Amino acid sequence: MLAVVRSCQHLQKQIVIRPAGPDAQKGIQLVHSSDDGSGNLRLSFFSSELRLRGEEPVVQPHYAGPGSDVLCFNGEIFEGVNIKPHENDGSRLYEMLQACETLEQVRNCIGSIEGPYAFVFYQHASCRVFFARDPLGRRSLLIHRLNERNPHFLLTSVSIGPHPMYQVEELDTTTISFLELREFNGVEFTAQFASALKAIPRLPEGRSTCQYASASPLNRIFPDNPPRLQSLDVIPDFLLTTVDDLISQLEKSVRLRVQNIPRIHHDKGPASVAVLFSGGIDCTMIAFLADRYVPSEEPIDLLNVAFENPRKIGAASKKRGKRTNVDRDEDGTTTSPDTSWLVPDRAAGLEETQELRKLCPTRRWNFVEINVTYQEYQAARETVEALMFPSRTVMDLSLAMALYFASRGQGQVRSHPTAIPEPYTSPARVLLNGLGADELFGGYARHRTTFNDGGWGSVLDELQLEIDRIPTRNLGRDDRVISSHGKETRHPFLSLSFLNFVAQLPVHHKMDPRLDTGVGDKMLLRLAVRKLGLIEASSRKKRAMQFGSHSARMEGGENDRRGDLLLSGLSQQS
């Protein structure tokens, strides 16, 4: 998705956008004339289409012809509006927005839909360009505010990395922004820009008429001495209903994200859904629930990535008193004989795949082993750094690399655990991600530390902070990286409906930092997973993706030790 004011073409951006939407591409050029006739503004809209909704192809931008509105929509509508299986949600939203006449009506329209989205909407009658991301920031939208050096206003869902002409940043999610084109006249475009760029809050002050305009605040009521869980094997009476409600709510969220996915390039049989699969409790729960709604004749692909990490291999070799080829091959062209792809996430993933096969025996589970050599890592690094920009820290790179190779889906599968692996590339376009569970259910070690320092009240403050900063963390970065392969990630834990359900639960129902790690952290989720029969998954301990896959600190230098350090060469736009 690309929208530019005062420019006819930005071919470099268009080329980057096309892989994210391989099914169709289209551009529209419009001219807005100032009221006094003293100048014109050129508006360029370009969209590429990844078709995941409806029976018929719909080519964006949505546009009904001269004198009509224009909509570029990158997202999905899962709730708030009844979208039938044969309908396209972008087309439906376009119809809804065309009926809006005021700022408030546009705001209320956007606040009535739930799902990941970013959009740009040109309203012809009001001469306004509206744009926003969903309240949780699940889709990317970058903004370049024009300046003297580059007098173009740019909105884009992709990135080309640092560029001397663009200073892009992630669009804030707290408001719906708009550009008043009528405030421009003559040739003083740059001088008039600041006053023409405006925003309105997602919610009217003192009102909550927009159901999906924001996340609900946490329930802050808790007893002085909450009851303790004795064992994951027995659900206590005070949690019986809550566990059932959690399963029901999460199951609904998964169902909405895997049903009615259209088949574009293949008949029934190949996978349409995959899971970013580390073998942890979150992704295993998502995979188990997806089995209930993905057509039975389809496999579900479990994408599991492992990296050849020279630092890890070198450390292991020294411990054994051996040397390793990776230490000697500066260009990374040789895979070390000491390389083992049995990284922590691979071991956990294999175990949980067996548990899924036992509980869901009629499903074909493709455990996709994605092994990334150091040479492949180095070859992809420049591309990934450009995709994830303006995110640019060491940790950003570690996470983005894991997502880049996992979402590409190129690896190998085995017909049974001891079989010879066969090459396999996942055709699935929808990738389910377990992100969000740690924030909602207290899964980080810092939650236990916070409790020890300040008790339940401090834990609630920390959990509220977790929810508040979800939109500013890494979802936009992840969307840019994953969509570069023509794939879309969906987050069942980050449905606003599910998030709001969890928010209203008492904190001692969700977690209990008085209990051991692997029990008290994400306690409610562990009880639900165990009730479903996923015994091994229910006691899995938290492991960050970059450490479980060995994508962290690939170089091993001193500057790689801190994840918040800026990458060399990306500390400022060149």
Structure tokens, 141: 């939208």
Pick 341 or 209 by higher pLDDT.
341
- pLDDT confidence of residue 204: 79
**DSSP per position, 225-270:** S-----BTTB--GGGHHHHHHHHHHHHHHHHHHHTTPPPSSS-SSS
pLDDT of residue 148: 78
Q: Which of 333-342, 518-527, 558-567 is predicted most confidently?
A: 518-527
571 has a pLDDT exceeding 80: no
Q: What are 214's two structure tokens?
A: 């924001």
Distance CA 8, CA 271 (A): 40
Quick one: how many helices (H) and strands (E) in the chain? Answer: 19, 19
pLDDT score at 12 = 52
Confidence grade of residue 295 (pLDDT, cut at 50, 70, 90): very high
Task: Report whether 428 contacts 263 (CB < 8 A).
Answer: no
Tens-digit pLDDT profile for residues 70-98: 999 999 999 999 999 889 999 999 999 99
Q: Over 70: is that where the pLDDT of 40 sits? A: yes
- For residue 456, what pLDDT is reported? 97
Q: How far apart are CA 357 and CA 360, in angstroms?
A: 5
Please say whether the beta carbons of 70 and 130 come within 8 A. no
Q: Which residues pair with 252 in a beta bridge?
A: none
Residue 477 has pLDDT above 50, yes or no: yes
**CA-wise closest residue to 42 among 63, 56, 28:** 28
* CATH architecture classification, 2-201: 4-Layer Sandwich (3.60)
* b/e per residue 486-510 (b: at least 16 CB within 10 A): bbbbbbbbbbbbbbbbbbebbbbbb
- pLDDT-based confidence at 556, cuts 50/70/90? low
At 7 the pLDDT is 47
Of 157, 343, 279, 215, the C-alpha closest to 536 is: 279
* Mean pLDDT of the 1-13 span: 57
Token representation of residue 368: 């996709």
Q: Of the given ranges (31-45, 274-288, 289-303, 542-556), which has the lowest mean pLDDT?
A: 31-45
Both tokens of 121, joined, read 């909407």
Confidence of residue 336 (pLDDT cuts 50, 70, 90): low
Residues 7-11, mean pLDDT to the nearest whole number: 43
What was the pLDDT predicted at 11?
Answer: 43
pLDDT of 202 above 60: yes
Strand partners, 218: none
3 state DSSP class of 69: coil
Across the range 553-564, mean pLDDT stands at 64
Amino acid letter, residue 481: V
* Averaged pLDDT for residues 140-150: 89
Q: Whole-angstrom Cα distance, residue 208 to residue 468?
A: 18
* Percent of the chain whose pLDDT exceeds 90: 72
Share of the chain residues as helix, strand and coil, in percent rounded to the nearest 5: 35, 20, 45
Residue 390, preceding peptide bond in cis (omega within 30° of 0): yes
Question: What confidence score (pLDDT) does residue 430 get?
Answer: 97
332-351: average pLDDT: 77
User: Of 434, 527, 433, nearest to 241 (Cα)?
Assistant: 527
pLDDT attached to residue 339: 64
Mean local confidence (pLDDT), 207-224: 88
What is the rounded CA–CA span in Å between residue 64 and residue 61? 10
Is the distance from CB of 385 to CB of 567 less than 8 angstroms?
Answer: yes
Domain chopping of the chain, boundaries: 2-201, 238-553
Q: In whole numbers, what is the pLDDT of the chain averaged over residues? A: 89
Question: Among 140-149, 328-337, 415-424, where is mean pLDDT lowest?
Answer: 328-337
When pLDDT is averaged across residues 398-404 and rounded to a whole number, the result is 96
Q: Is the pTM of this model over 0.85?
A: yes
At the second CATH level, the architecture of 238-553 is 3-Layer(aba) Sandwich (3.40)
Cβ neighbourhood burial of 237 (10 Å; 0-12, 13-18, 19+): exposed
The pLDDT of residue 50: 87
Cross-strand bridge partners of residue 151: none
Residue 173: its pLDDT value, please? 96
pLDDT of residue 461: 97
Mean pLDDT, residues 364-392: 96
